[in-house]
Every structure is written in C-alpha cells, then in structure tokens.
Amino acid sequence: MTGVRRLAPWVVAALLLCLVFGTSIASGLLPAPTTQAIRYQNSQDWFWCADQAMGLLVPLAVLLSGLASRLADRCRRLSGGNWFLTIVLFALAYATIDFSVNLPLAFWEGYANEHHFGLGTGSVGQWAIEQLVGFGVRLIAVSLLTWIPYLFLKASPRRWWLWSALAFIPIFIVIQIVAPIWIAPLTNRFTPLADKHLESKIQSLAAQAGIAGATILVKDESRTSTLPNAQVRGLFYTKRIVIFDTAVDQTSERQLLVIVAHEMGHYVANDVWKYIALQSSLLMLPLLLAHYIGAPALRRFGSRLGITTLQSVASLPLLYLTFNLVSLTTAPLVNAFIRDVERKADLFALNLTHDNTAALGLLANYAKVSLYVPNPNWIRRNFRMDHPSLDDRARTLVTYHPWTQMPSER
C-alpha cells in the first residue's frame, strides 16, 4: 500500500484547495447568494473532491493490494479458462466492488445532503431503486463492452488504444438513440403535455428552429428533485422535447419557452455529435496513457502485483485509474469547451425568443431554487462547472439584443 500512502498527501492537498478558494462576491446583476446557497455549494465542492479521490484510490487500492490479480485468477477458474467469460466475470466483480465502496458517499452526496438543503424530494426507497437500476444498467454495459479493448490488445498490441476508441463511436451513437426510449423510462415517467396551449407554443418555437417531428413530453422530475429544466433528446426518430414537471410548476410560460429554446439550440447546432467526438477523445487519451506509461510500469513492477501485461484482465482497474486521472486533469479544458457550447445555446434562445427579461428572471429563480452562487470560485468554475456561471449569463442578457438595433447601426 506504499503507493496509496504516497498519493494520500496529494489527495489531501486537493481537498484543501476547496477551502483555499472560497466563494466570491456576486456582481450585482443577480441577487446576492444566501448563506444557505454558499453552504450548499461549498458542500458540493467537498463532495467533488471526495468523488475524485475515490475515483483514484479505489482502482489503485485494488491494484496495489493484489486483489486484482487474485480476482482475475478466480474468474479464470470459474469460467473454465474461457477468455470472454473471464473478462465478463472480472468486469462484473470490479463494478460491484466499486459500486459498494462508493455507495455510502453516493448516499451522503445524492440523498442526505440534497434533502438537508431542501433540494431532494424522493424517499430513501426511491433513491435506492434508482441506484439499483443504475447499477443494473452498469452491469449490462460492462458485460457487453469491456471485452473491446482486450480484443484489440490481442489483435493489435501497438494500436489497440486507437481501434478501441474508434470502436466505441458507433456505441455512443446507439446510446443516444436508445437512451430516450429504453433507459430513461426505467427511473422516470414520461407523459404528454396536458397544456395544449403551451404545447402549441412549443411546436411553433420548434418550427422556427427547424425541428420537425419531435414528440413533446413531461418528465416527472419532481419525484426526486426540485430543479427546473428541459431536454431535447434523441436522434432521428427518437428525438423528443422533454420538459421537467418542475419547470412547468415553477416558471412562467415565457421563462419555460426560454428554457426549451436553449435546449433546441443544442439540437440545431448538432451538439450531440460534438459530445460524441469529445467522449471518443476522452476515451482515447486514457487508453493512450495506459499504453505508453501503464504497460511499461507493469512490465517493470507488475511482478509484485501479479500483473505483468495489459492483456491480462487484471489490468482493468489500471484502465479505470487512467480514465479517472485523465478526466480530472482535462476537466478545465473540457468544461471550457462545454461552457462555450452552452453560451451559444443561450444566444440561440435569445435570438429565437427575443425575451431577455424572461431569461433574466429565469436566472434569478434558478439561483434561488437551485441554491446556486452566481459568481463561483476558481476551482468550482474550472473543475466543476460545465455551464457558464449565472453572472456570466446575466451579463450576456443585458448586452446581447441585436434585434433592437436599427439597420443603419448594424
């Protein structure tokens, strides 16, 4: 466990950063954050640090303790030496270990803390069912997909990381098609929008945006959360405009149309394809890291761990470790990219609705309901936030209104 002890000071340092960079003062365009909002966001900073630490410590502990090697041997015996079944059994075992170890933190973060600050609405039973459904989906996913990098490790030891990442692209596309139809309904109920007047307004907005044939549904988000939002999900025949019932209950019609217009902006800009490309890149980087750093490290030190090559299924925790490490270190760049995408969706919504007033009121309401601090600290903005801060969005609202300019001024 020497490696864990060496990593511990860095984990502690990362946690302390969350305290060093305290919350900053709002600009004045939106109401100042309440004490409760500051406390909630500070707690989220701590949970983010804990999540990152667990993402590194769990796979590292499984590797350094020799558990990965012993578990791989047990799976190999249970499978009778079958290559594919050995990988499936090991992937299921590791997913179960990871889920079990992280479950207390998930409960504290996703249920207890949310209810403590009045943001959670579901019961413990509902939360447990969602966790079990998510765990079940994860088990199916790892059973079906974990063999892919190991297949390419055998077939192409020098370029396996490239072929593996490319192989996941069609899988990401299929997920975008399947998720709205089969996965999302596992934990939520989707019903037609009862307000036909509002439905007509949304259909008109969709026509202006060039979105045809989308089903309009309401999601029962209030079962587990108070946060208002909407989504435009799916590809091809599965595309649908999904409105959270919390948005229907908490926002005015004008504000709701701004929310929906923002989501339409993502769809029109083909942002889903950008996210698929981003996912593929983020998958390739850790595989590349495992190839050029992890593989030589195993050859040199693997005898102590019982793992001397990446081709052994016992190297799976190493792949998870490199993925989590790359996710952490690239978070500022990835979040900056997504924030730019979100900013463009904001501009699309304004160009479509011309309703800066409703949008500004929506931000103020969102800050109140969601306990957001409008002007976040440095670590929160760069490592946690994949949306512009509420203050940044408010600044855009008070300066962006090109439709009010006279033709001679353009």
CA dihedral 124, 125, 126, 132 (to 10 degrees): 110
| Domain range annotation of the chain | 1-65+375-396, 76-145, 157-299+307-354
pLDDT category, 228, cuts 50, 70, 90?
Answer: confident
Give the count of beta carbons closer than 10 Å to the beta carbon of residue 77.
11
Tokens of 120: 């959670």
Identify which has the larger pLDDT, 92 or 122.
Answer: 92
**Whole-number Å distance between alpha carbons of 307 and 314:** 7
What is the tens place of the pLDDT at every residue in 110-138?
A: 999 999 998 888 899 999 999 999 999 99
Look at residue 23 in the predicted model and tell me its pLDDT: 45
Look at residue 334 in the predicted model and tell me its pLDDT: 94
**Whole-number Å distance between alpha carbons of 319 and 96:** 16
Identify which has the larger pLDDT, 331 or 230.
Answer: 331
Given 3.30.1200.10, 3.30.2010.10, 3.40.50.2000, 1.10.390.10, which CATH number is that of 157-299+307-354?
A: 3.30.2010.10
Look at residue 369 in the predicted model and tell me its pLDDT: 85
What is the tens place of the pLDDT at every residue in 161-189?
A: 999 999 999 998 888 777 777 778 878 88
pTM: 0.83
Whose CA is closest to 399, among 350, 366, 358, 362? 350
Mean pLDDT computed over every residue of the chain: 88
What is the tens place of the pLDDT at every residue in 38-63?
A: 999 999 999 999 999 999 999 999 99
Poorest-confidence range of 254-258, 294-298, 321-325? 294-298
Tokens of 150: 């190991």
Look at residue 347 in the predicted model and tell me its pLDDT: 96
Whose CA is closest to 32, among 351, 366, 395, 375? 375
- pLDDT value at 25 more than 70: no
